[in-house]
Chains A and B, each alone.
Chain A
Amino acid sequence: MTFYAPFCLPFILGAALMFLIVAWKWGKWLWLLPHEDKMRILRGLPTRRTVAAIGEVVSESLLHRRIFRVNPLLGYMHMSLAFGWFLLILTGWIETVAHIGFRYVPLQGHVFFKYFATGLEHKPVFDFLMDLFLLFVLSGVALAWGKRFYSRAMGMHRTTKHVLGDRIALSALWFIFPARLLAESTTCALYGGGSFLTGSLGGWMAEHIGVMPLMTLESVAWWFYSSCLGLFFVALPFSRYMHIFTEIPLIFLRRYGVRSSEKESSYDRFQVEACSRCGICIDPCQLQSVLGINDVQSVYFLRDRRYGHLRLQVADNCLMCGRCVERCPVNIDLNTLRLNSRDRMRNVPDERRYGYFKGLDRSSGEGKVGYFAGCMTLLTPRTLTAMSTIFEAAGEEVWWADREGGVCCGRPLKLAGETDSARKMMKYNADLFRKHGITTLVTSCPICLKVFREDYDLPGVEVLHHSEYILRLIRAGRLTPERGTTRFTYHDPCELGRGSGIYDEPRAVIEAVGQLLEPASTRENALCCGSSVANTAISDGQQVQIARAVAGELEATGADVIVTACPLCKKAIGRGTKGEVRDLAEIVAGALK
C-alpha cells in the first residue's frame, strides 16, 4: 500500500515548512536566553515542575479551561477546535495502527487515511469516532463563524481586528474541516464506509450524483482539503496561530521560573507569540470602554511588538492597571512586556543624572518604624496628618523619611521606561533607610509599596502598606477606633489590589470603623481611577472621564463616603464626584477617641 497521491503535495510542503520555521524560532529564542535562564531550565527539567507543566499544557493548550471561566461558549469554541483536532489526530493514528499494525506510515498516510484505506475492511467503531470528533470540531468552526457576526453571545463586546497573515490563516482554518467533511463523504459515496456524518452524506451523494462526476468531485475535494491544510500551515508561523505551538514551551519555561523583566529578553518572544489574539483583554480595558480608544490594548500592543511596528504612542498609552492581565487566558505578563518596550524606546543611561542626591537627607525624628509618605501623600496632607495622629495614638516612635521633602520612590520613572535612572532613586532611598536603621517601613502609597517590595534590596526591613500596619495596631489593641454608623464603600487601588495582592486588610480596617458596601466591580475586577502614573498619553479631560465612571459605580452603592487607600486614587476619584472621598488613614484617625 503506497501512501502517496499527488494531492498530498500541498499538505506535505506546508507541514514541512511549518515545522522548519517553528523549530528555527524556538531554537533561536532558547539559544538567546540569558545564561541564568538556561540554567533554570536545566535544573527544572528533572523535577516535578515538568509534570506540572504537562498537566497545564493539557488543561490550557487543549482544553482551554481558563477561557471557560471567561465565558463557557467561548471556552467550548476554543476547546472544540484544539481538543477536537487533537482527538482526530490521535484517533486517526490509532485507526491506522488498528488496520495495518505498527508499521511506518508517512504523515500524509495518517492524515488522509480515509482516502488510502478504501481497499481495507471497515471498522465501524473508528468510523463512528472519527465522525463524532469531526462533528465536534465542526461545531467549533460554526461557532467561530457565528462569533464574527455576533460576538456578544460569547460575552465579548469587541473582537480583535486582524492582520493579513491572520486573515489568510483564518480563512484556511475555516475551510479545513468543511473540506475534510466533503472529501471523506465523496470517498464514502464511491467506496462505502463512514458513519452518521460522512457515511450518510456519502450515501446521499451516491444516490443523487453519477459515478463520473463523483470521481471528479472526489479528486477536487481532496486537493482542496490538502491545499487548505498546506496554506494554513504555511501561514501559521506568521499569524496568530503560532500561539498553538508557542504556548507549550511558554508553560514549561514559566514553570521552571523564567520571567520577563524590565529589560527585554528572548523569553519575551515566547510570551508575545503565545498571544492568540483572542481579544479577551479588550473588554476590561477602560481606555476602550470609557474613552473609546481601541488600538492600544494588550492584544494590539503585542501584535505591533511582534511585527516590529510598535510606536511609542501605543506603548505609552496604558494605565498598567492590570485588568487585562487578570483575564488573559494565556497568563501573559502583559505589564512587564509593556514596561520593557518602554525601556527599549526611552531608557537613556546617564551616569551624572541626579548628582544632587549626594549627601541629601531631610529625614526627621527617630524610631525603628520608618514612614515614607511618597510624593503623592505629600500632595494630600490630610493623609499625612491622619498618619501622624495614628502613630501618636499608638505610641509609636517614628522616623519620617520625607516629611520635609525627599526623593521619589522611583516607580513613576521606572514605569515610564527610564529604568536605569529609576535605579538611582531606588538606591538613594534604600541607602537612606539602611542608614537610619529602621526595621519596619510603612508607606501610605501603593505605588511606593510595590516598588519597595519588588525592586528595593531591604534585608531586615519589613515593608508594610498603611492598611496592613493599621490593622495590626487595631488587632494588637494599640489602636481602638470607635465603630460608627457611617456607610463606606471601598475602591481597590490597582497597585495595592492586583499589584500587591492586598484586598482584605483595608476592608477589615473599614469594618472596624463602620459599614462596608462593595461596588459592582471589586477586588480583582476593580476599576482603575484613570490617573495612573503609568500613563503619560491620555489628557486631563480623559482622566476625569474615567474618574467619573469609576465614581459613578462607587456612588451607586449608596455609601456616604468613598474610601480608598492610595493618595493618587483619592485625588483622581475626587475629581469625578461631588461626594466625599477619604483615605483609609483619615477615617481611622477620625474614629479615634
Chain B
Amino acid sequence: MAAIHFGYTISKPRAIDLDRNNLRKSDEILREMPELQTCIGCGACTAICTAGNLTSFNFRKVHTLVRRGEYQGAYEEMNKCMLCGKCRLVCPRGINTRGVVMLIKRKLGDF
C-alpha cells in the first residue's frame, strides 16, 4: 500500500524499561547539566537543526533517550551535530544545548 508522504515521519512506538536500564551515566549527565531536566520536549531544537535538515539526526530524541538510559548509538548520532548553535537560540527553556551535545559525547564516548 502506498502511503502518502507528508514530509515527516513518525518514530516507531517503543517501550523503555527504566528498571533494566543503567541510569548511572544519565545521572552523571544530569548532575553536570541540571537544566536539561527542564526540557519540555517541544522539539524546537530539532526543527531548526542544521544537521537534522540534512540527515535523520534528531537532537531531541537523542538527548531524551540518553536521559532514559538508552545510550546505544548516542555518541555516533551526536557526532552528526555541527555545533552551530542554532538550537541554543531557539530553546524555550534556555538549555545550553551545545553544552549538552559536548557533555553527552564526553560521557558516552565508549558506548
Binding site for B on A (CB under 8 A): 346, 348, 350, 353-354, 356, 360, 362, 375-376, 378-379, 405-408, 410, 412-413, 416, 418, 421, 425, 531, 533, 536-541, 568, 571
**In the complex, how many angstroms separate the beta carbon of A311 from the nearest chain B beta carbon?**
13
Contact across chains for A541 and B79 when beta carbons are under 8 A apart: no
**Roughly how many angstroms separate A375 CA and B88 CA in the complex, as a whole number?**
12
Task: Determine whether the beta carbon of A375 is less than 8 Å from that of B50.
Answer: yes
Q: Which residue on A lies nearest to B91, using beta carbons?
A: A540
- Nearest CB of chain A from residue B50's CB, rounded to whole Å: 5
Question: Are A539 and B35 interface neighbours, CB within 8 A?
Answer: yes
Q: Report the tally of A-B residue pairs with Cβ distances under 8 A.
A: 77
Q: Is A539 a contact partner of B96 (Cβ separation < 8 A)?
A: yes
B60 within 8 A of A: no
Given A356-B54, A360-B54, A405-B53: A413 and B83 interface contact (C-beta under 8 Å): yes
21 contacts between A and B (CB under 8 A): A346-B102, A353-B79, A356-B80, A375-B82, A378-B86, A405-B50, A406-B50, A407-B50, A408-B84, A412-B98, A413-B83, A413-B84, A421-B79, A533-B85, A533-B98, A536-B96, A540-B35, A540-B96, A541-B94, A568-B85, A568-B89
Cα of A421 to Cα of B48 in the assembled complex, Å: 22
Query: In the complex, what distance in Å separates the CA atom of A537 from the CA atom of B94?
Result: 13
Question: At the interface, yes or no: B11 with Cβ under 8 Å from chain A?
Answer: no
Within 8 A of A (CB), among B55-105: 55, 79-80, 82-86, 88-91, 94-96, 98-99, 102
Known contacts A539-B35, A540-B94; A379 and B79 CB within 8 A of each other? no
User: With the chains together, A408 CA to B89 CA distance in Å?
Assistant: 15
A531 / chain B contacts, CB cutoff of 8 Å: 89
Distance in angstroms between the alpha carbons of A531 and B85 in the assembled complex: 10
Known interface pairs A353-B79, A540-B35; 15 further A-B residue pairs with C-beta atoms within 8 A, sorted by A's residue number: A348-B109, A354-B80, A356-B55, A376-B85, A379-B86, A407-B50, A408-B84, A412-B85, A413-B84, A416-B98, A418-B83, A533-B85, A540-B94, A540-B95, A568-B89
Least CB separation from A544: chain B residue: B94
- B35 / chain A contacts, CB cutoff of 8 Å: 539-540
Q: Are B102 and A375 in contact (CB under 8 A)?
A: no
State the CA gap A220–B28 with chains docked (Å): 60
Residues of B at the A interface (CB closer than 8 Å) are: 35, 48, 50, 53-55, 79-80, 82-86, 88-91, 94-96, 98-99, 102, 106, 109
A405-B50, A540-B96 are contacts. A412–B80 as well, Cβ < 8 Å?
no
Contact at A375–B86, with CB atoms within 8 Å? Answer: yes
* Bound Cα distance A536, B35 (Å): 14
Closest B residue to A424 using CB positions: B82
A36 to chain B, nearest CB (A): 30
A379-B48, A541-B94 given; A536·B99 CB < 8 A:
yes
- Taking the nearest CB of chain B, how far is it from the CB of A551, in angstroms? 17
Query: Please, which residue of chain A has its CB at the minimum distance from the CB of B35?
Result: A539
Pairs of residues from A and B, 5 with the lowest C-beta to C-beta distance, nearest first: A540-B94, A375-B84, A408-B82, A408-B84, A405-B53
- Please, how many angstroms separate the alpha-carbon atoms of A406 and B102 in the complex? 22
Contact A537 B84 (CB under 8 A): no
Q: How near does chain B come to A55, taking the closest CB pair, in angstroms?
A: 43
What separation, in Å, do the CA atoms of A228 and B31 have in the docked complex?
49
Given A348, A405, A571, which contacts B89 in the complex, CB threshold below 8 Å?
A571
User: Within the assembled complex, what's the spacing in Å between the Cα atoms of A348 and B98?
Assistant: 17
